[in-house]
Amino acid sequence: MLMKLRFLYFLVFAPICLFSQVRFVKDTIQSQGDSVVVTATRSERKLSNVTVPVTIINAKSIQQIGALRLTDILKEQPGLSMTSGFGAGVQLQGLNPDYTIILINGEPLVGRTAGVLDLNRIALGNIKKIEIVKGPSSSLYGSEAMAGVINIITDATNKTPLQSSLRYGTYNTIDAGLNNTLASKSILYQGYYNYYSTDGYSIRPSTASRVTTPITRVATNQQFKYNLSNNTNVRVGMRFTNEQIKNELSVTNGGLTINSNGEEKNTDYNIASSLNHRFSNSLKTSFRSYITQYNATQNLLTISGAPYTDILDHVFNRLENQTDWVVNKKLTAIVGGGAVMEGVKSSRYDSEKIRKTNTNQYAFSQWEWTHNAKLILIGGIRFDQNQTYASAWSPKASMLYKINKQHRIRLSIGQGFKAPDFRQLYLNFTNAAAGSYSVFGTAQAQKVIGQLNILGQIGTLYNNFYQLKSLQPEYATGTHLTWEFEPNAKNNFSFQLFRNDIRNLIEVQQVGAYITGAQIYSYLNIGRAFTTGFEIEAKHQISKEFSISTAYQYLQTGDKDQIAQIKNGIVYTRDANGLSRKLNVSEYVGLPNNSTHKAQLKFNYSNQNGLFGNIRALYRSKWAVNNTNGNEVFDDGDSFAEGYIALHLSIGKDYMNGLGFQFGCDNMLNYIDALNLPNLPGRTFFATLKIQKSKKI
């Protein structure tokens, strides 16, 4: 009991001594004035006072570029890159997709495959805004927020009683959406329905080989709010997605053409409810519950004709309380805690019929001190007690200093963590189609390999086998320094330096080999890595109708242990003549799937009569994709994806009677890289019709 009291004392009062979270928000394309943001501090804050590195994308920006899925809008944001393995994932400032938590209205999405959450699942038809927080945010959101947070906030207002849209595009792509709202003095209901289908596309249209397979997806989002009194309300949100994907492949080998096909069925639902009560203007609390489940079933016929089934069933349940307290004019506090129970069944684990479960209890606190009109300080800390790994502390501290009306300086330092996932703990997978190698999660690796050894199936056990032990969380320490310069109302500039140092990195390592020579792998905490660089953003309002914006990111990444080995002269490569030689540090290119340079240039037009148009140019430099010279590090001699430029165009008109039209062309330059960019089809066209009935005020 004494230990618990000490813990609560530390949790509540220690953050007073910490600095503030920097909260800097940069609105894209369209200005929102002094908007309200919630993701940066888990509470409502005005844009002018929010100071962690955040990008806000408003609904108007999403609509005017013609974005359908979450991937469409995220790929155009500074500091973000899309990945294509196991679905469309997002890298934030060089960190892999499993280090960024994806939220809808503050609640996490589940159903990752190999750490990647496929963002094509998320439709944007009823999105109010998207908030992107850069930098470790585990002090508020726990695991998976090591790189940052992307929070999709749906529209729950009653301004639009009825809105419908229909879009048709290349590859027989159809997207239909319907929004409806009903409201009274005490009750608000909003429903959103979306239907999406596409034939997929083929790089060679005369063949059956498809890069994106035919998809049919149905989604709905329902929101209810009931005001029990002036100070108390109940909110309930429900979301459901069902998608069916057909896989059509045609492979020619030795003059013989083999057709293979299969299907995937994925369902995703969640229910979130909250009871919110305001005791006074200075004290309010919220009790929240969240239930979500993701089911994925894949049935395939392999090239050899053998059937293959892959199943994933992931459930996530959470109870949470958060209390906001305005102590005085200068000091505010947030204190909260909760419990999570999640479980997974998968055909890739040791038993698809038994659900692997895990529980986590956590508590967090954040204190904000407004010293004066120029200086804001926030300190936050979170404690996670997890069933399957050691406890994790996540502190964060930062500050905003307003030098004058034109200049602002922000500094943010925080620690994020990522818990070992079910795959790293319980995977039991042997790939019979690719050499019969095996990968075992650490929770069972020693037991399974030991049993195979007794049966005489193990040929060699490496030293890594004897290093296997319970996995610990991965940790990242992130530092972000931001300078913003706003000389006048027409111009805005920002410059951001960032550095993320990751330790305890969980990596796949070979721990043995079968008597056949096939490899056996498992997971160990052995890695150390970093990502560092800078981002520049600028915007100029040419006139009331025209604006131009540009952004550039320079990124360097690396594995610290690999760099040390190169410096020690124990890493080799081959020269142009095929002779072995020591690798130079200057030839090292860092972590795979990361581009050193990324830039964008956007022109936007919008007038008071509802006419709008924009053209966006996006550039990404080359990135390493495969280690082809066998030295297990990525260097100049490996395989790279070529750099490219993507050009997108959108033009539309909104009328006063609620009718709207939009036409667009994505990838106007028709850049295609089927192997490395399967989510980027060739040149595509679309047309959208929108009908809206506005509320009379």
Higher pLDDT, 526 or 241: 241
Supply the pLDDT for residue 17.
37
Hey, is 120 helix, strand or coil?
helix
* Tokens coding 213: 């397979």
pLDDT band for 253, please (50, 70, 90 cuts).
very low
d(CA 440, CA 348): 10
| Least confidently predicted of 252-256, 453-457, 537-541 | 252-256
Q: Which range scores top for mean pLDDT: 55-59, 335-339, 453-457?
A: 335-339
- Residue located via tokens 């006063």: 656
- Residue located via tokens 């019929």: 353
- Whether 178 contacts 161, CB under 8 Å: no
pLDDT band for 32, please (50, 70, 90 cuts).
very low
The answer to whether residue 13 scores a pLDDT higher than 60 is no
d(CA 137, CA 144): 9
* Tokens coding 509: 């390592």
d(CA 126, CA 124): 6
Supply the pLDDT for residue 674.
80
Per-residue pLDDT reduced to its tens digit, 527-536: 899 999 999 9
Per-residue pLDDT reduced to its tens digit, 629-683: 878 888 998 899 999 999 999 999 999 888 999 999 999 999 988 888 877 888 9
Q: What is the 3-state secondary structure (H, E, C) of 433-490?
A: HHCCEEEECCCCHHHHHHHHHHCCCEEEECHHHHCCCCCCCEEEEEEEEEEEEEEECC
pLDDT band for 209, please (50, 70, 90 cuts).
low
d(CA 109, CA 175): 23
Supply the pLDDT for residue 293.
94
Supply the pLDDT for residue 652.
95
pLDDT band for 695, please (50, 70, 90 cuts).
low
Structural domain 2-253+267-304+311-693, CATH architecture: Beta Barrel (2.40)
Q: Which helix (H) or strand (E) holds 235?
A: strand 232-253
Alpha helices in 66-143 (DSSP H): 70-74, 138-141
**Nearest CA to 621 among 650, 597, 599?**
597
Longest Cα–Cα distance of the chain, Å, equals 80
Higher pLDDT, 112 or 685: 685
Hey, is 515 helix, strand or coil?
coil
Per-residue pLDDT reduced to its tens digit, 467-511: 888 888 999 999 999 999 999 999 999 999 999 999 998 888 889
Residue 9 CB burial class (10 angstroms; 0-12, 13-18, ≥19) = exposed
Supply the pLDDT for residue 262.
76
Q: Using DSSP bridges, classify how beta strands 148-154 and 580-582 pair: parallel, antiparallel or unpaired.
A: unpaired
Supply the pLDDT for residue 241.
94
Per-residue pLDDT reduced to its tens digit, 572-599: 888 778 788 899 999 999 998 899 999 9
The answer to whether residue 359 scores a pLDDT higher than 50 is yes
Supply the pLDDT for residue 29.
37
